Amino acid sequence: MYAPGAPSIPTNTRLDYLTDPCSLANTDGACGWLRVSWKEANPTGVTIRVYAFTGCLHTPTASKPNANCLVDGDAIPRASLQLLGTAPASARSLSFVLEVGGEGSTFGRLPGGGPEVQAIVVQAVNKVGGSLFAIVASSGSCYGCVL
């Protein structure tokens, strides 16, 4: 629940894939650097938490053939969130590593063979509380599609 005095939800969120090599960060398999960026209305005293969402709340059906795993308005189960990192809101971005490879619609796996990352979300927090989550990117799937 939103607390009075908590920061506003981050806006202008974006996910970028970086070209930096990351073989030193992950010697067991392929990895990729990603960067989340945001804008915070009043960054003073605010920290941004970047989370991997490892669940999928929506499954495509014949009547709704395309579905994103996470959409605005969804109640996000805390058990499906893994903290990727934090940064001062004024930094406006955070980079992190995921294991990548293979085919699929996910963003990769958490390092160490962890679960697949279906979405990236961010939250602004201060000493009073936290904002709602902003969905930076969500994986999608389609009914009857063949990769």
Q: Establish if 147 belongs to a structural domain.
A: no
Q: Is the pLDDT of residue 29 over 70?
A: no
d(CA 101, CA 31): 8
Q: How far apart are CA 13 and CA 34, in angstroms?
A: 13
Instruction: Give percent helix, percent strand, percent coil of the chain, each to the nearest 5.
Output: 5, 40, 55
Identify which of 33-37, 105-109, 112-116 has the greatest average pLDDT.
Answer: 33-37
pLDDT at 26: 47
Q: Is residue 37 part of a domain?
A: yes
Residue 2 within a domain: no
pLDDT over 60 (residue 108): yes
In a domain, 6, yes or no: no
pTM (global) more than 0.85: yes
The domain containing residue 61 runs over which residues?
Answer: 11-140
Mean of pLDDT values over 115-120 = 92
* 100 domain-assigned: yes
Q: In the numeric block, which tokens belong to residue 14?
A: 């974006």
| Total domains in the fold of the chain | 1
Q: What is the pLDDT of residue 16?
A: 92
Q: Please report whether residue 83 resides in a domain.
A: yes
Q: In the predicted model, is pLDDT for residue 76 greater than 90?
A: yes
Residue 1 lies in a domain: no
- Answer yes or no: is 4 within a domain: no
**Residue 19 belongs to a domain with what CATH number?**
2.60.40
Strand partners, 35: 16, 95
Q: Which of 52, 70, 60 is nearest to 116 (CA)?
A: 52
Percent of the chain past pLDDT 90, that is, above it, reads 54
The mean of the pLDDT values for the chain is 86
